[in-house]
Structure 1
Amino acid sequence: MTEARLTSAMLASALIRRANGAGGVATVVVKGDPTSGVILVQTLEKGREIGLFERVSDYRGGWRLMACGAGADDMPQYIERRRRADPDLWIIELDIPEAERFAAETIC
């Protein structure tokens, strides 16, 4: 029997609702496949770029956020390469204190 899992659209929606409820801002920059698209979270704090994180399997049945991409200067190029390679990709911009932790608690 297979275990039910949350879709990418549900996870994105949960992250946006939770961030908005906590006084932060979360925006879908790129809407990917609603069922199984990979989720990248572009983290900011007070408008300052913090990093880019990908939701990946931890190979123990769970999920974690893994830093990806390069520095802030190369971020647009990295995102464009990823989008070309994976048209089902989601990109969510999250501006809230401790954004990485906040996203991990919500979608992992």
Structure 2
Amino acid sequence: MTDRLPTRLLVSAMLRRANDAGGFGAVLARGDAQAGAVLVVAVEAGVSRLLERGIGPDGRVTLIDSTPAEDLAAYWQRRRQRDPDLWVVELDIADAERLAAEALAAD
């Protein structure tokens, strides 16, 4: 058994925190409730970026910017075709990266 919370709870917490802070959060695609990876579409001032949990150069869990050069929606849809367990969550709030990091990259 692992100490990580189920993905559905992490996603729920991110959405609740975004909404409580006056922002907007929505699930664009549902993945595996227990252990699916999460791709966050962080929208700040009309600019969208993709963020996901990964391992940084120091070996610690961190958020990695996965924003593609091409069409963002087409990119995450291709990722979902290869990984149906992947969650895609949109956060439209100031400092969306911080909110996502607190939920996804906390050890």
TM-score range, shorter chain: 0.7 to 0.9
Q: In structure 1, which of residues 73, 79, 83 is the aligned counterpart of residue 80 of structure 2? A: 83
The Cα offsets for residues 58-103 of structure 1, whole Å up to 9 and x where unpaired, read as 585x5321011313x4212211210111000000000000111121
Question: Aligned in 2, Cα 1:70/1:10: closer, same or farther, shift over 3 Å?
Answer: same
SS in 1 for 2:34: coil
Query: Which residue pairs with 1:10 in the alignment?
Result: 9
Is 1:104 equivalent to 2:78 in the alignment? no
Q: In structure 2, which of residues 52, 56, 73 is the aligned counterpart of residue 54 of structure 1? A: 52
* TM-score (normalizing by structure 2): 0.85
Q: Tell me how far apart the structure 2 counterparts of residues 94 and 10 of structure 1 sit (CA, whole Å).
A: 16
Query: Which residue pairs with 2:31 in the alignment?
Result: 32
Matched residues, percent identical? Answer: 41
* TM-score (normalizing by structure 1): 0.85
Q: Tell me how far apart the structure 2 counterparts of residues 44 and 102 of structure 1 sit (CA, whole Å).
A: 12
- Deviation of the 1:45 alpha carbon: 1.9
Q: Which amino acid aligns with 1:75?
A: L
Query: Which residue pairs with 2:63 in the alignment?
Result: 65
List alignment gaps of at least 5 residues for structure 2. none
The alignment of Structure 1 onto Structure 2 pairs a total of residues equal to 104
Q: Tell me how far apart the structure 2 counterparts of residues 102 and 4 of structure 1 sit (CA, whole Å).
A: 21
List alignment gaps of at least 5 residues for structure 1. none
SS in 2 for 1:66: strand
Q: Which amino acid aligns with 2:15?
A: I
Q: Tell me how far apart the structure 2 counterparts of residues 63 and 7 of structure 1 sit (CA, whole Å).
A: 17
Q: Tell me how far apart the structure 1 counterparts of residues 13 and 55 of structure 2 sit (CA, whole Å).
A: 19
